[in-house]
Amino acid sequence: MNKRIKIITGKIVYNILAKHLPLSYSKFSFGSRKLRAFCGSLILEECGVNVNIEKGAQFDPRITIGNNSGIGINAAIGAGVKIGNNVMMGPECIIYTSNHCFERTDIPMCEQGFDDIKPVIIGNDVWIGGRVIILPGTRISDGAIIGAGAVVSKDVPPYAIVGGVPARVLNYRIRKS
């Protein structure tokens, strides 16, 4: 099947049906997890195995998602996001990859367009809490935990636990050997 036709078919099935099915872990899910993962495999640039795209998630097709990773309930993810393996994402997370232009004062900001896409990269084994906002160009390193409600505006180091507005390092995960 032509790649463009696959993407269009996946988007139609996802937006009309799969996006509105029950949560993946509900008692009567009606196969929603499998159907949304199938749509993701048609739509996304790269889609790993055992992916969980939750109810109401909105995402640009120009993202990649690794094995055993998920997109949270009602999440909104912009173009150019790379999600690693084993990433957990809470509900209502927003990942921005571009911003409004605002340099000129002689033209209203709403008429200045958008900046270029600044990719967001999320490493492996990352836990993103509910209602987290991640700003353009940010890198979240392997093993990090982002506390619920945090606004991530800077890169997050490996195994850091961050939280707050703006997010700051609160602690580090202890590595057991």
Report how far residue 74's alpha carbon sits from residue 6's, in angstroms, rounded to the nearest whole number: 24
DSSP class of residue 156 equals: B
Q: Does the active-site annotation cover 20?
A: no
SS3 state at 94: strand
Selected catalytic residue, list 6, 20, 34, 100: 100
String of b and e for 125-151 (b: at least 16 CB within 10 Å)?
Answer: bbbbbbbbbbbbbbbbbbbbbbbebbb
d(CA 7, CA 44): 8
Q: Which residues does residue 46 pair with via DSSP β-bridges, in sequence order? A: 64
Residues in a beta bridge with 68: none
110 φψ region: left (φ > 0), alpha (ψ -120 to 50), beta (else): alpha
Residue 160 DSSP symbol: E
Q: Work out the angle at residue 123's Cα, subtended by the Cα atoms of residues 35 and 38, and round it to the nearest 5 degrees.
A: 10
Q: Indicate which residues carry an active-site annotation.
A: 100
